[in-house]
Structure 1
Amino acid sequence: MVTFLVFLSGWSQGVFHTFFATFIIREHDMDMSYAGLLVISMGVLGAFSGILSGRISDRIGRGQAFFITFFLQTVGYGLVWVVPGDWAFILCAVLIGLTLRSSYVICAASAGDYVHRTYAAAAFGLMSVGAGLGTTISPVLAGVIADASGSLRWTFILPSGAAGIAMFGSLFLHSLTQNRKAAEDTKNA
């Protein structure tokens, strides 16, 4: 399940990071330096996103931390797709920056939670493959959508949809974790 969530994270980030700056420069006549500033701000915020999300996931659980991450990403990607404009681009950059590395950090922490520690490295490797596949495949499909529609705007339906699916997948992961914890508590009682 975690590999699927990280695949969706890679999928959404692959599209977003491939087309965001080009979209705001070409289709919204933004200055290249403004677009660069937004991308840099995402990177700076992203440097802290892993630490922040790691602490949050340690406190509230992996599933809930994934949910928060994917909720914020769904909103950010959705803003670019549904209501593109200066304020939407700025808010999107902040939301995506705050969650830029979140899913990968939560994924790494999850590796030891869901499999025996002997297999944690292999589990994390599998999760990394999922993220890599998502990041690799999604821009190709987004390019096809952009070519067919004549606009990059419609490519943002892919990250919005993927983050939305991942948001609900994280609820399923949380439910699985709670059920497993309840079964262990019953067994130990």
Structure 2
Amino acid sequence: MSETAPQTPRPNAVLMVTTGMFVTLVVIVFARLAFGLIVPPMREGLDLSYEQAGYLGTITALGYLSFVLVGGMAAARWGARWTVVMGVSAVGLGFLGLSQVGTYWHAVPLMAVLGFGTAFSFAPMVSLLATWYPEKRGLVIGLLTSGVGIGLLVAGVLVPWLNGLFGEGGWRATWGVFAATAFVVAFLVAAFVRDPPAARLAEGERPPSADKWAVYTNPRVLTVAVVYGIVGLTYIVQSVFMVSFMVEAGFEAALAGSLVSVSGIISIGSSPLWGLVSDRMGRGSALMAAMATVTVGMGLPVFSQTLPAFVAHYVLMGCAVSGMFAMIQAAGTEQVPARYVPIAFSFVTLFFAGGQLVGPAVAGWLIEYTGDFRAAFGFTCLGLALGVYLTNRIRHFPREAAELHPRTKAEQEAC
């Protein structure tokens, strides 16, 4: 064989995975999902319009989309550990700058820095853990993903508390606390995370980054990428518009918020559970079951705008959506040989980021054009149905990673 890896004892899984959960909390929750909680007081403090506040969130998404492939190639070339340290540190600097901004235009480049840092952090961290623990990658990535649910609970308590404690300056204090947390997490990554041993290349063999186009055009990688894009599109539409759908149907916003919290609590445990199930029964089969569950949950409010339908929606989403994330991420790390994993996973994440950009725009247009939220969620159900069909293809993928450069018979005999 042309590629061999030294036998190195694996690092402590608890420390590695726990550190990964903290990375997820900082770069996914604090840098992206918690922005909606900070917007109201920040908008008043900087005298922003709703349009400007929306642009700030879009800038972070564009920063992420622009650099996610670069982050994967950096991890493949220099190692995921220091790539993640750099990414989390960049996010911390962005938070620190946002705590001091005085105008909208000062905030714009700092929001882009958050996207850049996230691109250099999350995908390389997932790839690193999947490479260290390939036989348990579903469970490991499920635990990593549960950091999102934990982070949302933390942010949901922390942000209102800081706003109450510091008054008009509460949003600045929030960014400051986020910055301090990010710098601590960057230190934890440097202290406890270790790169897998680098494979030794045979004489004349190309480094992983030289074969990136073979990764990008691999049919298995492309299939996973499209499914991940569908997941990103449908999830962001649900996150942005479902509460408004409930309010439009005549229910209190506080009730909708409570259901969101219940869904988040359920998701903390369901993500590693789905990951464990997928390790045992097969990634494609478990992913198909989770995506079918999400499709049913998404469709219930389309057919019935009653309280039981909305409750069932949030319960089913909590039971399956984070597991769906964990399993498609795991699938994205196992289609190519280990040394190509950072490149492959960054590529499939590009589709996810693209889906998150396109989803709200399409759903918002459908709602405006039809005057009915059901059009937007009917659209997401169609997308999820396509995802279920594609996961059936993933079910039939071989367990072995794809050969990016199939060898001749003579080369196989030489191995």
Fold agreement, TM-score > 0.5: yes
- Paired position in structure 1 for 2:244: 22
Deviation at 1:35, TM superposition (A): 0.4
Greater helix fraction, Structure 1 or Structure 2: 1
How far has the Cα of 1:136 moved from its partner?
Answer: 1.5
Distance of 2:359 and 2:333 partners within structure 1: 28
Query: 1:96: how far off?
Result: 0.7
Of 133, 151, 154, which residue of structure 1 is paired with 2:375? 154
Map 1:11-160; keep pairs closer than 5 Å. 11-26=233-248, 28-160=249-381
Per-residue CA distance 1:44-72 (angstroms, 9 max, x = gap): 12222320111111011111111011100
CA displacement at 1:150 relative to structure 2: 0.9
Which piece of structure 1 moves more, 84-93 or 43-52? 43-52
Q: Does 1:169 align with 2:390?
A: yes
Q: Does structure 1 conserve the Cα–Cα contact (< 8 Å) formed by 2:288 and 2:391?
A: yes
Query: What is the CA–CA distance in structure 1 between the aligned matches of 2:263 and 2:273, rounded to whole Å?
Result: 15
Q: Distance between the aligned counterparts of 1:177 and 1:88, measured in 2?
A: 39
Instruction: List gaps (5 residues or longer) in structure 1.
Output: 182-189
Identity of aligned residues (%): 23
Query: Match of 1:13, as an amino acid?
Result: Y
* Aligned residues of 2:336 and 2:401 also touching (Cα < 8 A): no
Rg larger for? 2
Give the TM-score, by structure 1 length: 0.89
Asked if 2 retains the 8 angstrom alpha-carbon contact of 1:6 and 1:103, the reply is no
Q: How far apart are 1:178 and its partner, in Å?
A: 7.3
Equivalent residues of 2:291, 2:321 under 8 A apart: no
Residues 6 and 96 (structure 1 numbering): CA distance in 2 closer, same or farther, change over 3 Å? same
Cα deviation code 1:95-150 (max 9, x no counterpart): 11112222321123223321000011211111221111111211100111101111
Q: Deviations over 1:16-47 (max 9, x none)?
A: 11110001012x11011110011111111222
Q: Alpha-carbon deviation of 1:75?
A: 0.2
| TM-score, normalisation: structure 2 | 0.42
Give the aligned partner of residue 6 of structure 1.
228
CA drift at 1:179: 10
- For these two proteins, the number of residue pairs brought into alignment is 181
**Unpaired segments of 5 or more residues in structure 2?**
1-222, 403-415
Q: Is the CA contact 1:107–1:127 (under 8 Å) kept in the aligned structure 2?
A: no
